[in-house]
Chains A and B, each alone.
Chain A
Amino acid sequence: MLQVKALQKSFDGFLAVNDTTLNVEKGDVVAVIGPNGAGKTTLFHLITGQLAPTSGSILFKEENIAGMLPYLVCRKGISRSYQVVNIFNRLTVFENVQVAVLSYRKKTFNIFQPAKTMAVSETRKILGSVGLLDKSEMTSGSLSHGDQKVLEIAIALGNRPELLILDEPTAGMSPEETAVTLRLMERLSGELGLTILFCEHDMGMVFSIASRIMVMKQGKSIIQGSPDEVRNNQQVREAYLGGADQCST
Chain B
Amino acid sequence: MILYNALFSKKTIIIGIVLLVAFLLLPYFLTRFYIYLLALIFAICLLATSLNMVLGFGGMYQFHHAVFYGFGAYAFALFVTKSGLPIWIGYVIAPFCSALLGLVLGLITVRLTQLYFGMLQLSLGSLVWAITYRWYSFTGGDDGIHGIPIPDLIGSSTGAYYFNLIVTAACLLLMYIIVNSPFGRTFQGIRDNPERCEAVGINVQRQQLVGQIIAAFFAGIAGTLFVTIEGSVFPDLMFWTFSMETLIMCLLGGWFFFMGPALGAVIIITVRTFVGIYTEYWTLILGLVLMLLIFFLPEGVLSLFFKKDVPSEKKEG
Name A's B-contacting residues (CB within 8 A).
48, 50, 69-71, 74-75, 79-80, 82, 86-91, 95, 98-100, 102-104, 107-118, 138-139, 141-142, 145, 155-156, 158-159, 172
Q: How many angstroms from the CA of A113 to the CA of B183 in the assembled complex?
A: 9
Q: A99-B189, A139-B309 are in contact. Are A116 and B201 (CB under 8 A)?
A: no
A50 to B189, CA, bound (A): 18
Give the one of B3, B183, B311 with max A CB within 10 A.
Answer: B183
- Given the complex of chains A and B, what is the CA–CA distance between A48 and B177 in angstroms? 34
Q: Contacts A71-B198, A109-B210, A117-B2 given: A86-B182 contact, CB under 8 Å?
A: no
Q: Is the CB of A48 within 8 A of B3?
A: no
User: Cβ of B186 and Cβ of A103 under 8 Å apart?
Assistant: yes
- Contact between B196 and A108 (Cβ–Cβ < 8 Å)? no
Question: Across the interface, do B196 and A114 meet the contact criterion of CB distance under 8 Å?
Answer: no
Is B203 at the interface (CB under 8 A from chain A)? yes
Contacts of B2 in A (CB 8 A): 114, 117
A114 near B6 with CB under 8 A, answer yes
Interchain nearest-CB distance for B180 vs A (Å):
6
Which one, B183, B203, B214, B317, contacts A110 given CB within 8 A?
Answer: B183
Contacts A71-B202, A139-B309 known; A88 to B196 CB distance under 8 Å? yes
Name 9 extra pairs, CB < 8 A, besides A69-B198, A103-B200, A111-B184.
A75-B201, A86-B199, A108-B182, A109-B207, A112-B178, A114-B7, A114-B181, A115-B182, A142-B310
Given A142-B309, A145-B317, are A118 and B182 also a contact pair (CB < 8 Å)? yes
The residues in B between 239 and 258 inclusive whose CB is less than 8 angstroms from any CB of A are: 256
Q: Are A102 and B256 in contact (CB under 8 A)?
A: no
Most buried by B among A70, A91, A99, A158: A99
User: Are A108 and B183 closer than 8 Å at their CB atoms?
Assistant: yes
Q: Are B188 and A100 in contact (CB under 8 A)?
A: no
Q: Are A155 and B178 in contact (CB-based, < 8 A)?
A: no
A89-B310, A98-B185, A159-B201 given; A108·B177 CB < 8 A: no
In contact, B180 and A74 (Cβ under 8 angstroms)? no
- Min CB–CB distance B7 → chain A (angstroms): 5
Query: How many A-B contacts at CB < 8 Å in the complex?
Result: 133
Residues of A within 8 A of B199 (CB): 48, 50, 70-71, 74, 79-80, 86
Contact across chains for A111 and B204 when beta carbons are under 8 A apart:
no
**Bound form: Cα–Cα A59–B184 in Å:** 35
What would be 15 A-B contacts, judged by CB atoms less than 8 Å apart?
A: A71-B198, A74-B199, A79-B200, A80-B199, A86-B195, A87-B193, A90-B188, A95-B188, A99-B200, A99-B202, A111-B184, A113-B182, A114-B7, A142-B309, A155-B196
Give the distance to chain B from A66, nearest Cβ to Cβ, in Å: 17
0/1 per residue, B95-118, Cβ < 8 Å to A? Answer: 000000000000000000000000
Provide the residues of chain B in CB contact with A91, threshold 8 Å: 185, 188-189, 192
Determine if B192 and A103 form an interchain contact, defined as CB atoms under 8 angstroms apart: no
The reply to whether A110 and B309 form a contact with Cβ atoms under 8 Å apart is no
- Determine the distance from Cα of A117 to Cα of B1 in the docked complex, in whole angstroms: 13
B310:A110 contact, CB within 8 angstroms: no
Leading 3 A-B pairs by shortest Cβ distance: A74-B201, A114-B6, A88-B192
In the bound complex, do residue A115 and residue B311 qualify as a contact, i.e. CB atoms below 8 Å apart?
no
Question: How far in angstroms is the closest Cβ of chain B from A94?
Answer: 11
Whether B184 lies near A90 (C-beta < 8 A) is no
Identify the closest chain A residue to B196 (Cβ).
Answer: A86
Q: Which of the residues B202, B214, B256 comes within 8 Å of A90, measured between beta carbons?
A: B256
User: In the complex, A80→B198 CA distance in Å?
Assistant: 11
Query: Does any Cβ of A come within 8 Å of B197's Cβ?
Result: yes
User: Roughly how many angstroms separate A148 CA and B92 CA in the complex, as a whole number?
Assistant: 47
Q: Is the pair B202, A108 in contact by a Cβ cutoff of 8 Å?
A: yes
Residues of chain B contacted by A118 (CB below 8 angstroms): 182
A89 to chain B, nearest CB (A): 5
Residue of B nearest to A119 (CB): B182
Complex CA gap A141/B6 in Å reads 24
**B314 an interface residue at 8 Å Cβ cutoff?**
yes
